[in-house]
C-alpha cells in the first residue's frame, strides 16, 4: 500500500522525467530533430506569445524590431496571429508549427500570437478584426493592421493543409 509520501515522490519523479524529456538540447551524440536537420531547415517558425497587457500597435512594432535585432534575425515573414484555446484549426496549426512541420514551408516566420478571448478589444482598436479565426495578418511598420489578412480554417486532419496555401498566398501578395 502506498503512503501519501511515496505517491508524492512518485509524482515528482514523473514530473521531473517529463521536464527532462522536453529539454531544448538533444542528448550528447544524438542527431538533431528530424524536422530541422533532415529537411535542411536553417530557420524555424517561431511563435511569440503577446503580452497580456498594453496597446497592440507598440507591442507589434517592438516585436518586429526585436525579431530583426535577434541573433537569429528575421529571415522570414512577421505576422500577427490571433487564435483561441477552443479553436480546433488554431490548435492544429499552432501544434504543427511547434513540432517544426511548417519550418520548410515558412522558414524563419515569426508569429506574434494573441488570444481572441483575452485580447479582443485591444485587437479591434488596432484594426485586427475578423469574422473567423485563426487570423493571420500582415502588420504595418507602425504595428497596426494593414488589411492584408487571411482568416478561418476547417476542423479535422485537413486544418493545417487548408491554412498553408492561403497563408502562402497572403505572404506572396504582401511582399
Q: Look at residue 167 and tell me if it is in a domain.
A: yes
Domain count, the chain: 1
Interval 70-83: pLDDT, tens: 766 566 899 999 99
4 in a structural domain: no
Q: Domain holding 104: CATH number?
A: 3.40.30.10
In this structure, the strands spanning 46-49 and 145-151 are unpaired
Between CA 165 and CA 6 the distance in angstroms is 52
Decide: 150 and 88 in contact? Cβ < 8 Å: no
For residue range 110-151, list pLDDT tens digits in order.
999 999 999 999 999 999 999 999 999 999 999 999 999 999
Residues β-bridged to residue 150: 136
User: 132 in a domain, yes or no?
Assistant: yes
- The answer to whether position 154 is within a domain reads yes
Confidence of residue 67 (pLDDT cuts 50, 70, 90): confident
CB–CB of 45/109 below 8 Å? yes
Residue 118 in domain: yes
24 lies in some domain:
no
Whole-prediction pTM:
0.75
Query: Residue 42's pLDDT is what?
Result: 59
3-state secondary structure of 34: helix
Residue 115 to residue 28: CA distance in whole angstroms: 37
Distance between CA atoms of 139 and 159, rounded to whole angstroms? 24
Distance, in Å, from the CA atom of 168 to the CA atom of 165, rounded to the nearest integer, reads: 5
Domain membership flag for residue 115:
yes
Q: Residue 15: inside a domain, yes or no? A: no
Structural domain boundaries, residue 68: 42-174
The secondary structure of residue 106, as a DSSP letter, is S
Amino acid at each position: 500500500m502506498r503512503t501519501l509520501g511515496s505517491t508524492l515522490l512518485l509524482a515528482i519523479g514523473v514530473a521531473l522525467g517529463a521536464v527532462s524529456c522536453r529539454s531544448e538540447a538533444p542528448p550528447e551524440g544524438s542527431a538533431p530533430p528530424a524536422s530541422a536537420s533532415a529537411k535542411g531547415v536553417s530557420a524555424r517558425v517561431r511563435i511569440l506569445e503577446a503580452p497580456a497587457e498594453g496597446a497592440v500597435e507598440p507591442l507589434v512594432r517592438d516585436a518586429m524590431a526585436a525579431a530583426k535585432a535577434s541573433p537569429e534575425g528575421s529571415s522570414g515573414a512577421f505576422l500577427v496571429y490571433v487564435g483561441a484555446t477552443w479553436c480546433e484549426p488554431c490548435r492544429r496549426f499552432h501544434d504543427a508549427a511547434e513540432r517544426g512541420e511548417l519550418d520548410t514551408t515558412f522558414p524563419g516566420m515569426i508569429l506574434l500570437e494573441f488570444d481572441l478571448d483575452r485580447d479582443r478589444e485591444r485587437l479591434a482598436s488596432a484594426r485586427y478584426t475578423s469574422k473567423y479565426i485563426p487570423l493571420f495578418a500582415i502588420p504595418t511598420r507602425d504595428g497596426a493592421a494593414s488589411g492584408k489578412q487571411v482568416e478561418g480554417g476547417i476542423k479535422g486532419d485537413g486544418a493545417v493543409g487548408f491554412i498553408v496555401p492561403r497563408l502562402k498566398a497572403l505572404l506572396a501578395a504582401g511582399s
